[in-house]
Amino acid sequence: DAGVIQSPRHEVTEMGQEVTLRCKPISGHNSLFWYRQTMMRGLELLIYFNNNVPIDDSGMPEDRFSAKMPNASFSTLKIQPSEPRDSAVYFCASSPVTAGGNTIYFGEGSWLTVV
């Protein structure tokens, strides 16, 4: 398996523009997570899905952020409108089961710069 696949790897956009980040989890994994990484705050969990259903979105910063998982093999994280403070690395991760001692596997991240 190629692992968790994220796109784009890098994006530079202007303030106010819409940004869409994409994730393909590992096949067979039924939990998916979106994390944001910044120098100041480290890794923050934004939202996670189980069987395509959002379970906990309490980490989503504000209404400008939204995430969807239309099927088991695809998820998006959208920021509209984007702001410079959204600049960060956004990681998607997946895990095979909902509970128990299973490992979470991370993608390589999407590096977002909003200017």
Which residues are at the interface with other proteins (CB under 8 A)? 3-4, 31, 33, 35, 41-45, 48, 50, 55-56, 91, 93, 95, 97-104, 106-109
Say if strands 31-38 and 88-95 run parallel, antiparallel, or are unpaired.
Answer: antiparallel
Distance of closest approach, residue 111 Cβ to other proteins, in angstroms: 9
Nearer to other proteins, 72 or 104 (CB): 104
Q: Write down the least CB distance from residue 58 to other proteins, Å.
A: 10
Q: Which of 59, 92, 62, 89 is nearest to 75 (CA)?
A: 92
Nearest-angstrom CA–CA distance, 17 and 107 = 24
Q: In whole angstroms, what is the distance from residue 70 CA to residue 32 CA?
A: 12
**Minimal distance in Å, beta carbon 81 to other proteins?**
28
